[in-house]
């Protein structure tokens, strides 16, 4: 039953974040294997997963108002950081992470719920709630990911493109990071990583400083040191 699989996947990710990610980070591979097996069993194609480029182009027309608002907000808040080549590199990394996150979220949570429930709104609401719970205890991300989880589910229903959702998520995450205090957003860390001490605050622009948290809940100390050495900046989800 699709809803049972969605619930099982949610519990598996929750368990990994809170009990396995820190002592056994490699165990996340098991979750990825489960995702791949589910795709194969359900005969999902790149197009049904939202990886087609034609749909990405079509989203410009179907999501017109969303694109205009998101791009405008992103440019207004971050125009000073975007000229930095390092910021563009980190933006690309965040986009890749957002694409991976969305293809898994849509295929393992949203699609199964839509297939099981008659109400599209109810399916989107439940998917958004699950997405939000996975970002506990971050007080910035919990409400934000609920709203985005519901919105991305409905947008995907209108135009099935992971690439479009990933680009929107990257821009909106950067904007959210810029307008919230670092002491509250804590570099967008989640789970037990949220309680770790923050590295020294960088004087550089927030796009570069926040970029590491888009890849994983908390970067290793070696990654932090390399990033600081490379561009003198810290960590965008």
Tell me the domain boundaries of the chain. 2-231
How far is residue 229's CA from residue 223's CA, in Å, rounded to a whole number? 10
Give me the residue label for tokens 């957003």: 185
What pLDDT sits at residue 193? 94
Low-confidence ranges of the chain (pLDDT < 50): 203-206, 208-213, 215-236
User: Phi and psi (nearest 5°) for 41?
Assistant: -65, -35
What pLDDT sits at residue 217? 44
What pLDDT sits at residue 207? 55
What pLDDT sits at residue 201? 61
214 secondary structure, DSSP code: G
Distances (CA, A) of 173 to 38, 121, 157, 161, 213: 29, 24, 21, 18, 11
Q: What is the pTM of this model?
A: 0.85
What pLDDT sits at residue 200? 74
By the 10 Å C-beta count (0-12 exposed, 13-18 middle, 19+ buried), 58 is classed as middle
Enter the tokens of residue 97.
Answer: 């992470």
What pLDDT sits at residue 84? 83
Beta carbons within 8 Å of 62's beta carbon, 6+ residues apart: 158, 159
What pLDDT sits at residue 199? 82
């Amino acid at each position: 039953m699709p809803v049972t699989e969605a619930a099982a996947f949610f519990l598996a990710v929750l368990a990994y974040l809170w009990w396995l990610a820190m002592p056994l980070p490699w165990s996340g591979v098991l979750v990825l294997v489960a995702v791949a097996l589910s795709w194969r069993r359900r005969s999902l194609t790149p197009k049904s997963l939202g990886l087609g480029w034609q749909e990405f182009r079509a989203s410009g027309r179907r999501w017109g108002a969303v694109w205009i608002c998101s791009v405008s907000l992103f440019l207004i808040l971050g125009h000073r950081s975007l000229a930095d080549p390092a910021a563009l590199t980190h933006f690309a990394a965040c986009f890749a992470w957002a694409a991976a996150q969305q293809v898994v979220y849509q295929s393992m949570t949203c699609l199964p719920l839509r297939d099981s429930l008659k109400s599209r709104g109810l399916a989107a609401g439940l998917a958004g709630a699950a997405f939000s719970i996975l970002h506990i205890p971050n007080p910035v991300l919990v409400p934000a990911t609920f709203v985005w989880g519901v919105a991305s589910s409905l947008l995907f229903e209108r135009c099935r493109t992971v690439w479009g959702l990933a680009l929107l998520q990257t821009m909106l995450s950067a904007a959210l990071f810029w307008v919230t205090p670092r002491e509250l957003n804590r570099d967008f860390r989640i789970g037990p990583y949220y309680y770790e001490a923050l590295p020294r605050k960088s004087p550089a622009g927030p796009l570069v400083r926040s970029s590491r948290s888009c890849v994983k809940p908390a970067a290793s100390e070696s990654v932090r040191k390399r990033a600081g050495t490379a561009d003198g900046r810290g960590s965008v989800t």
